[in-house]
Amino acid sequence: MKDLFKRVARHHLALAGLIILIPMFFCALFAPLIAPHDPIEPDIKNILAGPSFAHPFGTDTLGRDVLSRVIYGTRISLLVGFVSVGIAILIGMILGAISGYYGGIIDEVMMRFVDLMMCFPTFFLILAVIAILEPSIWNIMIVIGLTSWMNTARLVRAEILSIKNKEYVMAAKAQGLGESRIIFRHVLPNAVSPVYVVATLGIGGAILTESALSFLGIGVQPPTPSWGNILTQAKDNIEVAWWLSLYPGLAIFFTVMGYNLLGEGLRDIFDPRRKGATS
């Protein structure tokens, strides 16, 4: 990890992404201390008030402070990103490891199932499932995770295929170790490098998906602040309250860009052909 942080610090893209994301983590962790107002409490005297000293990002249709709602929305976005990607990574790693290690008919069946899942437009699949279930943040995280594991499975399988016949794996088999222990203790830990990249890029995608679902009204439900449901109010008041779309839109843009920059940087760092340039 120390070597990884050194590489990130010397890689311009990864460092830029990290610089963008650090304030986001700070806002998520210390939202109650940073937010100047209660993000849920309405104020009928300040409905759709423009940016001012008291309300730097203005107020919404109920008089709630937009800055406070954007800050608290950071918590929702990061929570959805990390939990949903964590679910996807866990499923993808397990299925990819089993498929790559055993091969044969098991590999064939699993990869055809992956191909089948990748044929469905992911966002519309999520829309269909969320429409059936009760809209909630936990349902969103689970559904995004259950529909986003395919790329991880394919990458882990490819890595497993390249290392399952290495000497240390053969030595583990010769010692009589169980197959589950060989897979999860000896093979899988040496195949996780691409997963870091997929996870980082996936968090940005999950944040965009959550924002889109909340914008459509089937994601995080009011009064819980989310960047997506703030934008829902913005579309009805775009001509008179430009701040409702500008600030949550910028928050989404910079957060997703930060994860994409960090992910691209990690891809360069873990690519053996580029290690000389990033070490």
- Residue type present at position 183: I
Helix/strand/coil for 59 = strand
Nearest to 213 by CA among 145, 140, 149: 140
Rounded Cα gap, residues 149 and 114, in angstroms: 9
Between 137-146 and 122-132, two packed helices, what is the crossing angle to 10 degrees?
140
Q: What is the DSSP letter of 134?
A: P
Rounded average pLDDT over 21-40: 92
Helix/strand/coil for 200 = helix
Rounded average pLDDT over 104-119: 89
Higher pLDDT, 59 or 162: 59
- pLDDT band at residue 274 under the 50/70/90 scheme: low
Rounded average pLDDT over 2-18: 81
Higher pLDDT, 34 or 272: 34
Higher pLDDT, 178 or 198: 198
pTM of the model: 0.86
Nearest to 149 by CA among 128, 122, 131: 122
Q: Give the homologous superfamily in CATH for domain 11-32+60-278.
A: MetI-like (1.10.3720.10)
Number of C-beta neighbours around residue 104 at 10 A: 8
**pLDDT for 275 beyond 60:** no
Q: 33: which 2 tokens?
A: 């201390």
Higher pLDDT, 20 or 178: 20
**pLDDT for 50 beyond 70:** yes
Rounded Cα gap, residues 137 and 125, in angstroms: 17
- pLDDT band at residue 278 under the 50/70/90 scheme: very low
pLDDT at 279: 40
pLDDT tens, 214-231?
A: 888 888 888 888 898 888
Q: What is the DSSP letter of 26?
A: H
**pLDDT for 82 beyond 70:** yes
